Amino acid sequence: MLTLHHHPISAAARFARLALSEYDVEFTPIEQRLWERDPAFLTMNPLGTLPVLVEDARPAICGYGPVSEYLDETRGTMARERRLMPEDPFDRAEARRLVDWYLGKLETDVTRYLVRERVEKLFMTHEQGGGSPDAGTIRAARANITYHMQYSEWLAGTRSWMGGDQMSVADLAAAAALSCLDYIGEVPFDDYPNLKDWYSRMKSRPSFRPLLADRLRGLQPVPHYADLDF
Amino acid sequence: MLTLHHHPISAAARFARLALSEYDVEFTPIEQRLWERDPAFLTMNPLGTLPVLVEDARPAICGYGPVSEYLDETRGTMARERRLMPEDPFDRAEARRLVDWYLGKLETDVTRYLVRERVEKLFMTHEQGGGSPDAGTIRAARANITYHMQYSEWLAGTRSWMGGDQMSVADLAAAAALSCLDYIGEVPFDDYPNLKDWYSRMKSRPSFRPLLADRLRGLQPVPHYADLDF
């Protein structure tokens, strides 16, 4: 029995949902609004990050890195050609680097700010930091996205999948992060044809359907968000 | 043949040096000053982070997470009782959580700011961001350290080692991070007896000797830094 603490617009939590789904693992989702700083959640994960995975009342597995490795160890190694981690240690290092890239660097350069300003502030009280989005923060985050788009376009244009010859956690991390930004229309896919083609492939996977069905109360996604021919 | 790109006052790079040493792996250290933004280094690791490990001219392994997992896969699994990762998947998840805690959260709450303001700025040109330390930044970082000390004291007081019953990457990460802060006298060990006892054990390990011998040009460590009976 698995429980996943997540939020629909958290890139790292979307990554965990994709990985669980790719391995056909059923789980109970529990939505966490980090800005509410729920004491029970912070006791479970003092880091205060998502995702948090709990299996069979064992200690919580906290954060995208530990969750990714745990799923590989307990599901991936038995999944044969559907394993989300490459066999070669150098290829695994590259997959992990890209997971850190999309859920670490892109998150701190871009995603965190755009999601907070444009989404989370809608749901926060004044005391929690809610209010009008900060135009300067949004401008800075949008300026940062170009570099990430160029790098992603290069990856998508020179490799079959983001991490190399096979689909891996690198693709799930990239797609999870970009899907959060795409919900609010912040990804200029039309300028990056190889990236768009790769994202179209990711979007068509059954594991992606629950993400495309996500709707935040009071904030509809852009029209093309769930469109497979965007 | 292994090469490690590191910096003496980088917590994540110290973590890699400790892990390599615990596994008796010889390596050639190359000092990187991240603030110089060396194009060759950034080509190798666009994330711009330390450590970066290169083995036999294969692709670079970038960042503390991928380096930690790579060393476990290529050295740890053969190291028997000296392996730095527990056998049980839940215990491994806990060790990884604490590596993220000390090299991620403590880094972004405290270490990065104190190291930048009190150390790196001494070596930076004006264009690179050098100059006088910012008192407000130092004050904020020092305010954040108390929570981390309390949490670390609790870990050290309730477990044999930080992650559980055996020494693991969690201990190396914690000791690496605290040793950077201790170099500049920012760790109030005397107020945290269990943590002090644990750190004393870590300091006495042969793997720690090179760290205790580190000297930054123009910035001596506090007198007790290399003292095993501090």
Mean pLDDT by 10 residues, chain B (230 residues): 97 98 98 95 95 96 98 94 96 98 97 96 94 96 97 98 97 98 97 98 98 94 93
Closest chain A residue to the Cα of B72, Cα to Cα: A89
The upper half-sphere exposure of residue A177, i.e. CA atoms within 13 Å in the direction of its Cβ, equals 26
Q: By the CB < 8 Å criterion, does A58 face chain B?
A: yes
The mean pLDDT of A17-39, rounded to a whole number, is 97
Check A100 against B69: CB less than 8 A apart: no
Task: Indicate which of A55, A96, A149, A154 best probes the interface with B, i.e. most B CBs within 10 Å of its own CB.
Answer: A96
Model pLDDT, residue B49: 96
Q: In the structure, what pLDDT confidence band is assigned to residue A218 with cuts at 50, 70 and 90? A: confident
User: Averaged over A124-143, what is the pLDDT?
Assistant: 95
Q: Does B65 touch chain A (CB under 8 A)?
A: yes
**Which chain B residues are Cβ-neighbours of A98 within 8 angstroms?**
none
The separation between the first and the last C-alpha atoms of chain A, rounded to the nearest angstrom, is 36
Q: In what order do the strands lie in the sheet with A2-6?
A: A28-31, A2-6, A52-55, A61-62
Contact check, Cβ <8 Å, A61/B105: no
SS3 helix, strand, coil % of chain A, rounded to 5? 60, 10, 35
Burial, B61: exposed, middle or buried (Cβ in 10 Å; 0-12, 13-18, 19+)?
Answer: buried
Burial class of residue B38 (count of CB atoms within 10 Å of its CB; 0-12, 13-18, 19+) = middle
**Tokens standing for A123?**
């749901």
Q: Residue A121 CA to chain centroid, in angstroms?
A: 19
Do residues B109 and B144 touch, judged by C-beta distance below 8 A?
yes
Residue A204 pLDDT > 90: yes
What lies within 8 Å, CB to CB, of B103 at 6+ separation is: B11, B12, B15, B64, B173, B176, B177
In this structure, are strands B2-6 and B28-31 parallel, antiparallel, or unpaired?
A: parallel
**Chain A residues with CB inside 8 Å of B46's CB?**
101, 151
Q: What is the pTM of this model?
A: 0.96
Handedness of CA A183, A167, B40, B37 (dihedral sign): positive
Average pLDDT over residues A143-155: 97
- CA–CA dist B196, B204 (Å, integer): 12
- Report the C-alpha gap between A84 and A75 in whole angstroms: 10
CB pair distance less than 8 Å for A73 and B92: yes
Contact list in A for residue B66 (CB cut-off 8 A) is 92-93, 96-97, 100
Interchain proximity B93–A46, CB inside 8 Å: no
Q: What is the pLDDT of residue B229?
A: 85
CB pairs under 8 A between A and B: 76
